[in-house]
DNA sequence: TCTGGGGTCCTAGGACCC
DNA sequence: TCTGGGGTCCTAGGACCC
């Protein structure tokens, strides 16, 4: 049996932990730049505010209903997530952290437990130690655990817990799950299934498996098998190293000059290098992209992306920053109002991989340059101790393109300055 | 009449997840 | 005025190898 523990309206719940006056009120959390809704309280959902909806189109609804609006505060959410996951780790031997607000727990070995009451204990424990409300779904496969969790969330009578054990319980659960709500079935595939008359998870479970394999490929075939109780997906205890790392932002205002764009790209490259070091990886390719808003008139629209291969895989801030800047120069076109840019690094190699091939001509930065590595370690150490951004390369700067965050809550758990402000 | 069989690597595009 | 950010996997097709 697998348990899926999923936090309710996670970002909203994080804000509520520190502002209890938000309880019972409609609350939304906005994406970077205060653009779209990325989390909604149940009250906000009831007002018809859609996930991903652009906030400016709903300004009247927000005002009339006195909706509490918060800018995204990812350092806070990341820290709260870590606390939830730590609590869950103590409740089951094997846990897979699936996303910022979800974890799968391996319930093998709990066969003699009353799973309903154990799940209720998990909810209570997480609530007590972190303040975050969660729902628990338990079933014989991960996909069925997702189905169970959805039912636990949707039906107040379940008290936040749904265990699917018997064939009858599973059958009933599948019948009440629309096909578009199945984990792994997105918009395209649900449309395709619906035209075949496959409307619910029960229909998909019973569908012709040859047809499913042909049109939904192995991924869809796996979903079908999992719905029928055959586990195809295991708990992944160790997260595999990332294959690509991306840092990108929309800008708070239009950026026109190459100089300003360079500051943004330098900052993103620096962030990518830091994330690489944290992963103990090096990247061998650097991609830079930038462009105008996609909602711009066609003649004023521009989107450019370009990739280069580094002479050696690297996670050095200076190396990646120089590379990204070179790529950007080839991408930049004068006369556009740039609204977004990003840096993506890929072609990862483990940091400790021995025997990296040397250059035939030997003029590039040596891949294992000890002094550079020590410099990066010192930089990371200072930033860890005194806060992010305490020390950085001069080229990194956010003055020109800083995203808008007008409703930002304090960093209650990760920034001394904010904690002191709260107390005052 | 009759033109093999078995592979790898890379890329682009399309789907999906949170 | 105003529309997020960060990932993964799969398939098909083309190029190459012996």
- Is any atom of nucleic acid chain B found less than 7 Å from the CB of residue A178? no
CATH number of the domain enclosing A70: 3.40.1170.60
Q: Which of A221-225, A280-284, A394-398 has the highest mean pLDDT?
A: A221-225
Cβ contact A292 with chain C strand, < 7 A: no
In the predicted structure, residue A371 carries a pLDDT above the cut 90: no
Q: What is the CATH number of the domain that holds A204?
A: 3.30.70
Asked if A24 and A47 count as a contact pair (C-beta separation under 8 A), the reply is: no
Q: What is the pLDDT of residue A2?
A: 97
| A249 and A327 share one domain | yes
- Asked whether residue A394 is assigned to any structural domain, the reply reads no
Please tell me the predicted confidence (pLDDT) of residue A299: 85
* Distance between the alpha carbon (CA) of A385 and the C1' atom of C2, Å: 37
d(CA A341, CA A277): 22
Q: Please give the model's pTM, rounded to 2 decimal places.
A: 0.93
Domain ranges, residue A317: 244-351+369-386
Whether residue A236 is contained in a domain is answered as no
For residues A269 and A382, membership in a common domain is answered with: yes
Same domain, A34 and A89: no
> Given this model, what pLDDT does residue A287 score?
93
Asked if the structure places residue A238 within a domain, the reply is: no
A37-57 exposure pattern, b = at least 16 Cβ within 10 A, e = fewer: bbbbbebbeebebeeebebee
Alpha carbon distance A84, A82 (integer Å)? 5
Strand B, nucleotides < 7 Å from a protein CB: these are: 14-18
pLDDT value at residue A368: 61
Identify the pLDDT of residue A399: 86
Say if residue A249 is in the same domain as residue A380: yes
Residue A101 beta carbon within 7 A of nucleic strand B: yes
Beta-strand pair A281-291/A338-350 = antiparallel
Within-domain flag for A405: no
- Asked whether residue A422 is assigned to any structural domain, the reply reads no
- Is the pLDDT at A354 greater than 60, yes or no? no
Do both A87 and A139 map to the same domain?
yes
Protein residue minimizing CA–C1' distance to C5: A248
Q: Are residues A68 and A114 in the same domain?
A: no
Over its C-alpha atoms, chain A yields an Rg (Å, rounded) of: 24
Is 70 exceeded by the pLDDT of residue A56? Answer: yes
Does residue A210 sit in the same domain as residue A278? Answer: no
- pLDDT value at residue A90: 97
The pLDDT value recorded for residue A414 is 83
Task: List all nucleotides in chain C with at least one atom under 7 A from a protein Cβ.
Answer: 2-11
Percentage of residues of chain A with pLDDT beyond 90? 78
Cβ of A183 near strand B (under 7 Å)? The reply is yes
- Across A178-182, A299-303, A355-359, the highest mean pLDDT is recorded for A178-182
Nearest nt to A188, CA vs C1'? B15
Domain finish residue from A198, A228, A258: A228
SS3 A401: coil
Domain membership of residue A358 (yes or no) is no
With distances taken from each CA to the C1' atom of nucleotide C6, the closest residue turns out to be: A246
Q: In this structure, are A267 and A382 located in the same domain? A: yes
Report the DSSP pairing between strands A161-163 and A134-139: parallel
Q: Is the CB of A238 under 7 A from strand C?
A: no
Mean pLDDT highest for which of A2-6, A254-258, A333-337, A343-347? Answer: A2-6
Q: Is the CB atom of residue A218 positioned under 7 angstroms from any atom of strand B?
A: no
Confidence of residue A356 (pLDDT cuts 50, 70, 90): low
- Residue-wise pLDDT for A201-211, tens only, equals 999 999 999 99
Q: Quick one: pLDDT band at residue A359, thresholds 50, 70, 90?
A: low
Q: Residue A6 — pLDDT band, cuts 50, 70, 90?
A: very high
Asked if the Cβ of residue A219 lies within 7 A of any atom of strand C, the reply is: yes
Check: CB of residue A49 under 8 Å from CB of residue A67: yes
A215 and A93 in a common domain: yes
Residues A358-373 as b or e (16 or more Cβ within 10 Å = b): eeeeeeebebeeeebe
* Residue A398, in any domain of the structure: no
Query: What phi and psi values does residue A305 have, to the nearest 5 degrees?
Result: -145, 140
Cβ of A147 near strand B (under 7 Å)? The reply is: no
Give the nucleotide nearest to A242 (CA→C1').
Answer: C7
Q: Show the DSSP H helices in A10-141 as ranges.
A: 10-18, 42-46, 59-64, 74-89, 115-130
Percent of chain A with pLDDT over 70: 96
Could you report the per-residue pLDDT of A153-195, keeping only the tens digit for each? 999 999 999 999 999 999 999 999 999 999 999 999 999 999 9
What CATH number does the domain containing A302 carry? Answer: 3.30.1490.100
Note whether residue A51 is domain-resident: yes
Q: Which of A75, A99, A122 is a domain's end point?
A: A75
Considering its fold, how many domains does chain A have in total? 3
Interatomic CA–C1' length for residue A52 and nucleotide C4, angstroms: 9
| Residue A362 scores a pLDDT above 90 | no
Instruction: Looking at the structure, tell me whether residues A160 and A89 fall in a common domain.
Output: yes
Lowest-confidence segment of A60-64, A173-177, A188-192, A399-403 by average pLDDT: A399-403
Q: In this predicted structure, what is the pLDDT of residue A357? A: 58
- Looking at the structure, tell me whether residues A95 and A221 fall in a common domain: yes
Scanning every strand, the nucleotide with its C1' closest to A56's CA turns out to be C2
| Closest nucleotide to the alpha carbon of A250, via C1' | C4
For the CA of A60 and the C1' of B5, the distance in angstroms is: 68
Residue nearest to nucleotide C4 (CA to C1'): A31
Task: Establish whether the CB of A99 is closer than 7 Å to any nucleic acid atom in strand B.
Answer: yes
Same domain, A220 and A276: no
CA A345 to C1' C6, whole Å: 12
């Amino acid at each position: 049996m697998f348990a899926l523990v999923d936090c309710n309206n996670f970002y909203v719940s994080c804000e509520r932990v520190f502002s209890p006056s938000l309880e019972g009120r409609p609350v939304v959390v906005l994406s970077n730049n205060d653009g779209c809704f990325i989390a909604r309280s149940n009250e906000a959902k009831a007002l018809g505010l859609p996930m991903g909806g652009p906030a400016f189109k709903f300004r009247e609804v927000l005002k009339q209903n006195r909706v509490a609006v918060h800018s995204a505060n990812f350092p806070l959410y990341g820290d709260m997530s870590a606390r939830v996951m730590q609590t869950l780790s103590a409740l089951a031997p094997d846990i897979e952290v699936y996303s910022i607000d979800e974890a799968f727990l391996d319930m093998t070995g709990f066969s003699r437990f009353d799973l309903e009451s154990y799940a209720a204990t998990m909810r209570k424990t997480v609530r007590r130690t972190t303040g975050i409300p969660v729902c628990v779904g338990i079933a014989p496969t991960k996909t069925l655990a997702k189905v169970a969790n959805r039912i636990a969330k949707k039906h107040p009578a379940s008290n936040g817990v749904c265990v699917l054990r018997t064939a009858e319980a599973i059958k009933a659960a599948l019948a009440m799950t629309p096909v578009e709500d199945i984990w792994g079935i997105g918009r395209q595939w649900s449309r395709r299934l619906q035209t075949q008359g496959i409307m619910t998870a029960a229909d998909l479970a019973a569908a012709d498996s040859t047809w499913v394999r042909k049109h939904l490929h192995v991924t869809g075939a796996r979903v079908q098998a999992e719905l029928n109780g055959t586990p195809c997906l295991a708990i992944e205890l160790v997260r595999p190293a990332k294959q690509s790392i991306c840092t990108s932002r929309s800008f708070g205002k239009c950026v026109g000059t190459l100089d300003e764009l360079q500051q943004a790209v330098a900052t993103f490259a620096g962030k990518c290098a830091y994330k690489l070091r944290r992963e103990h990886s090096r990247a061998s390719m650097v991609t830079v992209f930038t462009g105008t808003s996609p909602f711009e008139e066609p003649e004023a629209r521009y989107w450019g992306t370009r990739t280069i291969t580094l002479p050696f895989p690297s996670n050095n801030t200076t190396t990646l920053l120089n590379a990204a800047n070179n790529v950007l120069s080839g991408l930049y076109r004068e006369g556009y109002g740039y609204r977004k840019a990003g840096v993506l690094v890929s072609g990862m190699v483990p940091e400790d991989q021995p025997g990296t091939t040397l250059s035939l001509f030997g003029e590039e930065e040596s891949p294992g340059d000890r002094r550079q590595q020590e410099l990066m370690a010192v930089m990371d150490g200072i930033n860890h101790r005194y806060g992010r951004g305490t020390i950085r390369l001069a080229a990194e700067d956010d003055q020109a393109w800083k995203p808008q965050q007008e409703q930002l809550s304090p960093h209650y758990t990760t920034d001394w300055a904010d904690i002191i402000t709260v107390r005052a």
